[in-house]
Amino acid sequence: MSLSVKKNLPGKIYAKPLAVAVLIALGLAISGCQDNASSSSQAEQSAAAAPKLSLAQQANEIAKKYIIADTHIDVPYRLESQFEDVSEHTPHGDFDYPRAVAGGLNAAFMSIYIPATLEKTGGSKALADNLITMVEDIVKAAPNKFALAYSSDDLSKNFANGLISLPMGMENGSAIEGDLANLKHFYDRGIRYITLTHSKANHISDSSYDIERPAKGLTDFGKELVQAMNNIGVMVDVSHISDEAFYQVMEVSKAPVIASHSSARHFTPGFERNMSDDMIKLLAENGGVIQINFGSSFISQASIDKRNIHKAAVKAFALEHGLDEKSEQVKEFSKAYLAKNPYLYASLEQVLDHFDHVVKLVGIDYVGIGSDYDGVGDSLPTNLKDVASYPNLIEGLLKRGYSEADIVKILSGNLMRVWQEVEAYAAEH
């Protein structure tokens, strides 16, 4: 009995502390639940109390968060005629470093523009080399702000390092000068797309602006060049070329192609420089992308009509007075005419209509930005006047119901996909 009691004593002795410990633990758990519930409630209250970001604020956050790539900015040729240090604020033009930072621009494709006249007079390759050297010098002078980008991977790395990439595209393949060795030369110098022609037919392709169509599309050399571009990893750019040439490019190219700075012809009937619905559909089937041009005459038929009336008035004045259209008297007349009859700028909403049209036609994966900043003169739409304006475009897309994921595709995702596919094709060939 006493032994039994002794055996039970330890149990009785430790029973109370154990119960207390359980109660304490239970109390702490309950208290913890209450604390967690309280914290959760406080978090919900804080979230509810936090001011909701406006669409403008959301747009600015998106602009800073993701890569914005614009495939056509005409800085080199602008600086060729009047040099300015674009690493600082410049009083002229549409692009400089401070404004690019303000707009969230991370990849500004520098257009190596070759005037169509050089096809006959010569000097295309030399000018292209000079302009490429200019871009390289811009980077060398401000390595803490700019960097070259020879690949899609370079662009991503530059973005991670807080640098604005200056990849290069050649506007007008005239600089190839009929020699495929020059394609390799320009690839080695950083050219990653070539617009096959510009305002006149050349030895590669007919132009959408040229009444004369000697090749009835691409020349034999042009077809060979497209294949060579595929094989080396240079994107084929179908902006500026004639409709016939476009369809021939689509037959020849084995890799996706781009329209680096074109808009939808749906809104500008008869303007061959823009892309028809059938062309946009075929471009998408090929996996390519149309980069929307911001110029008012690419966006609005009313702007085109207003410009044509102005041109006709200037021409009539010159003829009536026997003057050269480039004379000072004619320039003064033109200035006075515009003072009385101002140019009609397209609106941001009209630019957004072009994005909407492409998305409704072929989907979100085949449209991007090719503003033509520094290339369309004083014809940019309201609220899209320079490279600080991309948040305005993003805000407009948000207002129209585009998701953040959709907007990222427009800003750079679609272009990066095409670039990577072109690189992959070249790596295999």
For residues 177 and 114, the answer to whether their CB atoms sit within 8 Å is no
For residues 196 and 204, the answer to whether their CB atoms sit within 8 Å is yes
Mean pLDDT of 408-414: 98
Q: Rounded CA gap, 136 and 189, in Å?
A: 9
Kindly report the average pLDDT of the chain as a whole number.
91
* The residue to which tokens 């070259």 are assigned: 148
What DSSP character marks residue 215?
T
Q: What is the pLDDT of residues 72-111, one digit of tens each?
A: 999 999 999 899 999 999 999 999 999 999 999 999 999 9
Q: Rounded CA gap, 64 and 382, in Å?
A: 22
The partner residues of 169 in beta bridges, in order of sequence, read: 111, 193
pLDDT of 264 above 80: yes
Q: What is the pLDDT of residues 367-398, one digit of tens each?
A: 999 999 999 999 999 999 999 999 999 999 99
Phi/psi at 254 (5° precision): -100, -10
Question: What is the secondary structure of 230-289 as a DSSP string?
Answer: HHHT-EEE-TTB-HHHHHHHHHH-SS--EETT--BGGGSTT-TTSBPHHHHHHHHHTT-E
- In this structure, is residue 306 part of a structural domain? no
For residues 207 and 198, the answer to whether their CB atoms sit within 8 Å is yes
Q: Give the number of domains in the chain.
A: 1
Q: What dihedral do alpha carbons 180, 184, 189, 192 form, nearest 10°? A: 90
**What percentage of residues in the chain have a pLDDT greater than 90?**
88
Mean pLDDT of 162-177: 98
For residues 264 and 251, the answer to whether their CB atoms sit within 8 Å is no
What DSSP character marks residue 117?
T
| pLDDT bucket at 11, cuts 50 / 70 / 90 | very low
Q: What is the pLDDT of residues 272-311, one digit of tens each?
A: 999 999 999 999 999 999 999 999 999 999 999 999 999 9
Q: CA geometry: angle at 87 spanning 81 and 92, to 5°?
A: 45
> How is residue 183 written in tokens?
């394609």
Which residues constitute the domain of residue 216?
66-300+344-428
> How is residue 160 written in tokens?
């991670």
* Pairing assessment for the beta strands 191-195 and 235-237 based on DSSP bridges: parallel
Coil, strand, or helix at residue 38?
Answer: helix
> How is residue 174 written in tokens?
């005239």
pLDDT of 26 above 50: no
Which ranges constitute the DSSP H helices of 142-202?
152-160, 180-188
Coil, strand, or helix at residue 48?
Answer: helix
Entry pTM: 0.88
Q: Rounded CA gap, 243 and 277, in Å?
A: 12
> How is residue 196 written in tokens?
């096959």
For residues 71 and 62, the answer to whether their CB atoms sit within 8 Å is no
> How is residue 311 written in tokens?
């041109």
- In this structure, is residue 241 part of a structural domain? yes
pLDDT of 13 above 50: no
Coil, strand, or helix at residue 393?
Answer: helix
- In this structure, is residue 130 part of a structural domain? yes
- In this structure, is residue 399 part of a structural domain? yes
| pLDDT bucket at 9, cuts 50 / 70 / 90 | very low
* The residue to which tokens 């957004």 are assigned: 352
- In this structure, is residue 229 part of a structural domain? yes
- In this structure, is residue 17 part of a structural domain? no
Task: Give me the count of residues in the chain.
Answer: 429
Coil, strand, or helix at residue 372?
Answer: coil
Mean pLDDT of 46-65: 86
Q: Rounded CA gap, 409 and 417, in Å?
A: 9
* CATH, residue 214: 3.20.20.140
Of 174, 179, 177, 153, which is closest to residue 165 (Cα–Cα)? 153
Q: Rounded CA gap, 371 and 369, in Å?
A: 6
Mean pLDDT of 246-255: 98
- In this structure, is residue 128 part of a structural domain? yes
> How is residue 405 written in tokens?
């994921």
For residues 375 and 199, the answer to whether their CB atoms sit within 8 Å is no
> How is residue 411 written in tokens?
């800003």
| pLDDT bucket at 151, cuts 50 / 70 / 90 | very high
- In this structure, is residue 22 part of a structural domain? no
Choice between 51 and 24, residue whose per-residue pLDDT is larger = 51
